[in-house]
Amino acid sequence: MCTNQKNEKIKLKNQISITAPVVLGQINSAYGIHGWLKMISSTEYAESIFHYQPWFIKRINTWQQITLDDWKYHSNGIIIKIKSIKNRESAKLLTNCQIIVDASQLPDLSDGEYYWKDLIGCQVETVNGSPLGKVINLIETGSNDVMVVKANRKDSSIIYELLIPFLYGKVIKNIDLATSIIQVDWDPIF
């Protein structure tokens, strides 16, 4: 959701209902004076975000469709131009808005492939059945992805997070989305 929730007028398409929202990126900030915006893509390849249209944002508690007019690489990132956004002031109103698509737009995956959105919320346990916690995030690193697991430790008021490498076969032994359980070969004390 946008952190800039001023009730200012911004001309976007009518509010829409989305049944299965998936975050594919985020609008960071305004760029220049003609309504361009800096954007971060969460897709595997940054430019893949443009294959999924239409985009939606949630602004002032309503889903609104946005229409991409143009995009280009700039410095180490991407800037986008949204139709109806003509100046910097209008662009600023979209600062920190997440770019959303409906899950129905995503392609089917092969066996052994998973969308991160499907793994978040799964319970994680060792191959011996010891519960470790719940997946709260995944992080892309240079060598492999990492699961962030909120640990089931009840012995203190500190929230513990486990960082478990997402190495299928080596660390990740089984993923059962039907039961929302991921089995790992991992020492709970590590």
Instruction: Name the one residue in this structure whose structure tokens are 């995944």.
Output: 138
Q: Peptide bond before 54: cis, by omega within 30 degrees of 0?
A: yes
Other CB atoms within 10 Å distance of the CB of residue 79: 19
Coil, helix or strand at residue 50: helix
Q: What is the pLDDT of residues 39-95, one digit of tens each?
A: 999 888 899 999 999 999 988 888 899 999 999 999 989 999 999 999 999 999 999
Please tell me the distance from the alpha carbon of residue 56 to that of residue 25, in angstroms, as a whole number: 11
The two beta strands, 62-66 and 21-31, are unpaired
Q: What is the pLDDT of residue 6?
A: 52
- Domain annotation for the chain: domains and CATH numbers: 21-105 (2.40.30.60), 116-184 (2.30.30.240)
Does 13 score more than 70 pLDDT? no
Q: What is the pLDDT of residues 101-154, one digit of tens each?
A: 999 899 999 988 899 889 999 999 999 999 999 999 999 888 899 999 998 766
For residue 95, what are its two tokens?
A: 């600062």
Please tell me the distance from the alpha carbon of residue 172 to that of residue 23, in angstroms, as a whole number: 25
Query: Could you tell me the pLDDT band of residue 16, with boundaries at 50, 70 and 90?
Result: low
